Each structure stands twice: as C-alpha cells, then as structure tokens.
Amino acid sequence: MFASNSDWVHHTRTGCIILGLDASYSDWVHHTRTGCIILGLGAPYSNWMHHTRTGCIILRMGASYSDCVHHTQTVCFILGLGALYSDWMHHTRAGCIKLRLAALYSDCMHHTQTGCILLGLCALYLYCMHHTRTGCIILGLGASYSDCVHYTRTV
C-alpha cells in the first residue's frame, strides 16, 4: 500500500485502522486507540503483548504457531505465515478464519463460510468484490489505495 498515515486516518472513520506498511510503530500507538491494533511488520513480539490487551491479536510475521496458541486464547486466531492449512482448520473453529498466504482461493471459499474473508495475496481484487459481500474487506497487497477508498466504505 502506498497510502500515507494521514490518508488512512482521514479516509477510514472506524475503530479498526490498518496503516500503511511503512508506518512506524509510534504512528500505530499514537493513531490507533482501539482494541483491534495491527502493528507494523517490524514490531517485536514484546510490543504486541505489551500494547494489545485484546482477544484479537495479530502477531508479527516471525511469530511461531506455538506463540499464537500460547498467547491468544481466542476463537479468532491469526497464525504465523508458516502455519499449515491443516493447522488452521484444526485449531480455528471460528467464523473469522485467515488462511496462510499459500492457501488456494478455492480453499478459502470452501472452508470459510463467513462474511469476513481475507483472501490469499494471489487472489484477484474482483474475487474480493464478487465473493465477499461485507463492509469489512481486506484487499490483496496488489490493490491500489484508490481501490480501497472507492470500494470499501466501511464504518
């Protein structure tokens, strides 16, 4: 995403804010006063545990699966990128499932019967619009910022 921090704050009037990947950790802490915080990719695990006291925790990319299971006692799990698809299905019995990046689009559609779907990075934008009829859409990394603003009018 090429959106600046000010773009996110200005255009997303919601308690769930996802800043650009280049946003600094201080930007996250300063601008997101919410129970659902997604920190920068470079934030250490200790930052996650210290600053997010919530049932919905998204661990850093390097977090191991055991870290996820140990620290998040919740039905909404976001496992590390290295987690197997079978791990997802076995450990997450929830309406909100986020599959690993390598998961096939067909896997997403087959196994997640939910309005909140995060498709794999390889999923086309039109897949998102066609298959997810929801106000909460997270587009693939290839989506432009204008696409986000135009298509996601979320509260």
What are the C-alpha distances in Å from 55 to residues 71, 121, 143, 149? Answer: 10, 25, 29, 28
Q: Is the pTM of this model over 0.75?
A: no
Q: How far is it, in rounded angstroms, from Cα 24 to Cα 151?
A: 26
Q: How far is it, in rounded angstroms, from Cα 102 to Cα 79?
A: 13
Q: Are 95 and 114 in contact (CB under 8 A)?
A: yes
User: Can you give the residue range of the structural domain that contains 140?
Assistant: 5-151
Domains: count for the chain: 1
Q: How far is it, in rounded angstroms, from Cα 19 to Cα 25?
A: 10
**Confidence band of 27 (pLDDT split at 50, 70, 90):** low
Beta pairing partners, 98: 118
pLDDT tens-digit map of 78-121: 443 344 445 544 544 433 344 433 444 454 444 443 333 443 33
